[in-house]
A and B are shown apart, each in its own frame.
Chain A
Amino acid sequence: MVSGAQVIVESVGFWRSTPVASRHKLVRVLALLAIFLLASIVISLWTGYQPITWASLRTDEMTRSIFFRLRLPRMMMAAIIGATLACVGAALQALFRNPLAEPLTLGVSGGGALGASLAIAFGWGARVAGMPVVFIAAFAGALASISIVYRLAKAGSMVVPGSLLLAGIVINLVANAGVLTMQYTVDQTRSLQILRWLVGALDVVGFSVIWQMLVFLIPGWVVLLFVSRDLNLLAVDEQSAASLGVNVPRVERTVYLVSSLLVGVTVAVGGSIGFVGLVVPHIARLLFGQDTRFALPSSLLIGASFLMLADALARSVMGAGELPVGAVTAMLGGPFFLWLMHRQQRFSVLQ
C-alpha cells in the first residue's frame, strides 16, 4: 500500500539517505525546517478576514493595529504552543516507547486544563500575581494526572502500553467533566473563559501573555533538548539505556516535571489542543529517521509551523467567523491517530 505519507517520504528520501546521525545532516535538517517555518510565518500573517498589504501596513493606522496587536501575537502564540506540544509529544513517545503517547492521550492536557480552570474559577488569575498563578495551577494539575497515569500503567518494572493510554484517556475525560461542571457553576464571564479550555483557542491581544509564557517555556525546551540523547537511548530499550549509563529514574522525573510545566503553561492559555503532540513527532520521524536527537528539535520547528498553518486554516475557512484551532487539529489528527493505531497493531504495541 502506498500512502500519501510514504510518497512524501520517498520524495524527500534524500534527507534520510545518510544512514547515521551526522552533524552535517542535523544542520541540513534544521535549515530546511527553518525555511519551512519562515514560509509558515508569512502565510499565517497574511491570512485573515482583513486583507493586509505592504501599502496599508505603512499608511493605515487601523491595519497596523490589526497586524501588530492581533495577528502578530496570535501567530507567535500558535508557534510557541505548537512547538511546545510537539516537542513534549516527541519526548513522551520516546520515554514510554509508545508511538501513541502525547499530552492529550496521557491525560496531561486534561489535568492541566482542570488545574487552570480551578484557578480561574476562584479568580486567582485576576488577583494575586496574574497569569503565572494560573500557569502554576495548570502545571500542578498536569503533574498530578501524569503521575496517576504512570502509577496505574506500571506493572512491576514495566509500563503496560495499553493501560497507559486507557488510564490517560479516562483521566482526560474525568478532567474535562470537572472543567464542564465548573463552567456550569461559575458566573458568566468566567464561564466563557473556561469554555475555551475545552477545545483550545488562540485569540490573544498584545504580547504580555506571550512574554510570560516564554519565561517558562524556553527553559523547558532547553531541558528537553538537553536530555534528547538519553531519550533516544530510552526509545530503543529501557534496560539497554540503563546499562549504557543513563540514569533512567532521573530522566523520567525530569521529563515528567518539564512536560507537565510546558503543557500546563500552554493549556492555561490555549486550552487543550489535541493531536499536535501526536502527529508532529511522527512527521519528524518519517522525514528524518527515528533518532530522537533529530526528532525532538525537528518536532519543535515543525510543531510551530503546523499550528500556525492550522490556525490560519481555522481563521480563513468561515469568512468573518473562525473555528477554534483545537477543532481543526482534532479533525486532522484524529484520523491520523486511527491510521497509526491500525498500523501499530502489526507490532502489537497495544498488547
Chain B
Amino acid sequence: MTILEARNVEFGYCPGAAAVLSASIAVESGTLTAVIGSNGSGKSTLIRVVAGLLQPWSGGVFYRGRNLLDQKPQSLARQLAYVPQNASIAFPFTALEVVLTGRAPYHSRFQLENAEDQRIAMNALDQVGIAHLAHRRVTELSGGERQMVTVARALAQQPECLLLDEPSSSLDLKHRSALIRLLLDLRERKGLTVLMITHDLMLLEPGFDHVFALRCGRIAASGPPQQVITGDILVEVYDDAFIRTSRVNRQVCVWSQVHR
C-alpha cells in the first residue's frame, strides 16, 4: 500500500526558479526508500515538501491518500516525523529535553510531559545508542552526537513514517551502519516506513527497497537499488564519468576515480 505520495510537485525558493520540477514519488508502507543525487539537485527541498514544511507551487503531497493540507498538523506529527539536515541548537538544552519535544504532538498546549513520555524518550536515546548523553547539553556534544539526538527526537514521536535528511552526514563508519541497522530493525518490529536522503550509496544494498535518484530537480531514475546503483545510471545522475561500481557478495561498492 502506498503510504506517502508526492504527485507532480513543483517548488522553488524564488519565483521562476524551481528547485524541484514536477517530481512524483510514491513510498510503500513498511519499506525503506532512499533519495540520492548530487549536491543542489533538490533532494532536501523535495523531502521538505513531502514533510509538509514547504507548500508546493503545484501538485500535492498525500499521506494515506489524503492531501497534507487537509490534515491537522498535530495529528499528522503523530504519524510523520522529519529529521532536518543540521539542527543547530542555540540554547543549552539537555539531550533528553530535546528528545522530549518529540512528545509534543501527543499533548495539548498546557500539558507537560509525564513519566511515560520520559520512558519513551529514554528508550529513543537508547535505541540510537546515546542514552549515556541524556543529561548532557546538546551545545557541548559533537556534530555526530547531535545528529543522533535529532534522530532520537523523531523516534520519540513514534511515527509510522520517518523522513530523514542526510542523517548520517557527520557520523563515523560504525554509526552509519548502526543507524541503518536500527531503521531495518524498526521496520521489522514496528512496520516503520522510511524515506531517507543519503550519500552512502554502499549502504543501500541489501536493505533498502527502493531508490529515487534526483538530477536538477527531476526524478532521473527510480527502482530497486540493484537497478539504480549501477555505473551507467550513477554516471548520469552525478554527471561524473569517473564513477565505477562493483558488486561483491550482495554488497555494492561505489567510487569515483581520483586518478584519471
Residues of A within 8 A of B (CB): 19-23, 26, 97-99, 156-157, 161, 226, 229-230, 232-233, 235-237, 239-240, 242-247, 285, 289-291, 293, 347, 349
Contacts and interface: CB of A to CB of B under 8 A. Distances in A.
Interface stretch (B88-96, B182-190, B236-244): B88-96
Q: Which 10 A-B pairs have the closest CB atoms?
A: A243-B82, A245-B73, A245-B77, A245-B74, A239-B84, A97-B90, A237-B87, A21-B112, A229-B109, A290-B93
Given A20-B96, A26-B112, A237 B81 contact: no
Contacts of B97: 20, 236, 289-291
Interface residues of B, number: 43
Nearest to A344: B90
A341 to B, nearest CB: 13
A229 B104 contact: yes
Contacts of A285: 91
- Scoring A22, A230, A243 by chain B CB atoms within 10 A of each residue's CB, the highest score goes to A243
B101 interface: yes
A256 to B, nearest CB: 19
Nearest to A242: B53
10 contacts: A21-B113, A97-B90, A156-B13, A229-B109, A233-B104, A236-B91, A240-B87, A244-B101, A247-B73, A291-B97
Contacts of A98: 90
Contacts of B139: 347
Contacts, number: 98
Contact of A243 (B13, B53, B90): B53
A246 B104 CA distance: 10
Nearest to A243: B82
Given A236-B93, A347-B90, 6 more contacts: A19-B135, A240-B82, A244-B101, A245-B104, A247-B73, A285-B91
B113 A239 contact: no
B81 A243 contact: yes
Given A20-B97, A245-B104, A290-B91, A237 B84 contact: yes
B156 to A, nearest CB: 10
Nearest to A26: B112
Nearest to B114: A22
Nearest to A292: B91
A171 B182 CA distance: 51
A243 B101 CA distance: 11
Contacts of B93: 235-236, 290
A22 B139 CA distance: 23
B134 to A, nearest CB: 8
Interface string B131-154: 000110001000000000010010
B153 A240 contact: yes
Nearest to B163: A243
B196 to A, nearest CB: 15
B193 interface: no
Given A19-B96, A236-B89, A243-B51, A226 B109 contact: yes
Contact of B91 (A99, A243, A245): A99
B102 interface: yes
Nearest to B94: A19
Contacts of A246: 73
B97 to A, nearest CB: 6
Contacts of B82: 239-240, 243
A257 B242 CA distance: 56
A293 B89 contact: no
